[in-house]
Amino acid sequence: MAAGSDGVDINDAASPKTTTSKRGRFTTSTESRRQTLTSSSSHTHTLPIELIQEILQRLPVKFLLQLRCVCKSWKSLISHPQFAKNHLHSSPTATRLIAGFTNPAREFILRAYPLSDVFNAVAVNATELRYPFNNRKCYDFIVGSCDGILCFAVDQRRALLWNPSIGKFKKLPPLDNERRNGSYTIHGFGYDRFADSYKVVAIFCYECDGRYETQVKVLTLGTDSWRRIQEFPSGLPFDESGKFVSGTVNWLASNDSSSLIIVSLDLHKESYEEVLQPYYGVAVVNLTLGVLRDCLCVLSHADTFLDVWLMKDYGNKESWTKLFRVPYMGISDSYLYTKALCISEDDQVLMEFNSELAVYNSRNGTSKIPDIQDIYMYMTPEVYIESLISPCV
């Protein structure tokens, strides 16, 4: 892959789609720019620049990448960061499932699948993505996605931000944590709307005098340096990665009584709080944290079923709502690794069961296995939307 010095794929390959909402309007300050844009094509000379912008920012990412070739002024407009934010808010949401796994040659592979096809259980064809690190003989973990940017934990000391829709990526500087036996790093990724910036969180967990300690560092995209913040407040994070909701990153953690609590890190204040859980009403074997419909989600596992809970008003315990109960589907021997990936408008939920995917229809209580091509074991799935947001700030 050809890349510039800042980690930008200069081929700008188009691909999948990204999540969330944004703000603001894109405005031009000079009359000369208005004249350039409106006279750039015989088909657009009668249209005011504001209308051109309104039309363009409602088009799919793949089409916009092609339209950059129409003229220099369109390329400049479509490539502008503010246009990317407006497009994120205005364009129809096109969501994809991405799966990371190692193939029989032990190479790390990433493939994307249209989420609509996955829910419809039709034969789902894969699009292989051009991962920035080609032919890696190791497994890179997908931490999460935000506004179309995917965060990867490359190893215990590095992370990568990548928008596969526009082919741009940013390799973050390595963490300078001391290597220790039994140590590991857990990441989180999200957006601080008050600072208008993306942040990566790294929780370094290590053993000291017979018990585990933590060091927490944050990198704000555009600074290229990690900052030390307050240590993780309670025990150790239980999740492999934090879940981003409403400006916070959330982890399940074990406290002193060995029960699981939800610990939330406010990305703007960089302070922690405990998120109170719902009253489950049954004997809970295990919990899984996730995000559905941009809300914090908890899967409470019992012996023969799991309940799907949604916190509709983040931080308000009274807003916890049980959406539905999923019976054991015979897909896996255990619910311990179950993950809720996405829920459709007609209340179908895509779930992972031990590296297998299933779609549960809560309206009629049925489940189905999507016919997805070229899926190998030990898959890490994630859902993201296409966007123009660049990680190269």
- pLDDT values of the chain reduced to their tens digit, one per residue, 393 residues: 434 434 444 334 434 333 344 334 444 443 444 444 444 444 445 778 888 888 888 889 989 999 888 888 888 889 999 999 999 988 777 889 998 887 777 778 888 988 888 888 667 888 888 888 765 667 788 999 999 999 999 877 889 999 999 999 999 999 988 777 778 899 999 999 999 999 999 999 888 777 788 899 999 999 989 999 999 997 788 888 999 999 999 999 987 666 889 999 999 999 999 999 999 999 888 899 999 999 999 999 988 888 999 999 999 999 999 999 988 765 545 455 578 899 988 889 998 876 678 888 888 888 888 877 566 667 788 999 999 999 987
Q: Give the residues across from 343 on adjacent strands.
A: 349
β-strands 371-372, 123-124: how paired? parallel
Q: Which residues contact 188 (CB under 8 A, 6 or more apart)?
A: 143, 144, 200, 201, 203, 241, 242, 243, 244, 249, 251, 265
Q: 141-180 pLDDT, tens per residue?
A: 899 999 999 999 987 788 999 999 999 999 999 998 877 7
The helix or strand, by DSSP H or E, that contains position 66, with its residue range, turns out to be helix 61-67
Domain ranges of the chain: 31-90, 95-385
Q: Which residues contact 346 (CB under 8 A, 6 or more apart)?
A: 361, 363
- What b/e string do you get for 244-253 counting C-beta neighbours within 10 Å, with b at 16 or more? bbbbbbbbbb
Q: 82-132 pLDDT, tens per residue?
A: 999 999 988 777 889 998 887 777 778 888 988 888 888 667 888 888 888
Which CA distances in Å does 264 have to 165, 242, 252, 277, 288? Answer: 30, 9, 9, 12, 15
Measured CA to CA, the distance from residue 199 to residue 197 in angstroms comes to 7
Tell me the CA end-to-end span of the chain in Å, nearest whole number: 20
Per-residue pLDDT at 15: 40
| Average pLDDT taken over every residue of the chain | 82
Q: Give the residues across from 349 on adjacent strands.
A: 343, 360
pTM of the predicted structure, to 2 decimals: 0.83
CATH topology of domain 95-385: Neuraminidase (2.120.10)
Q: Which two tokens stand for residue 264?
A: 């939330």
Q: Is 8 helix (H, G, I), strand (E, B) or coil?
A: strand
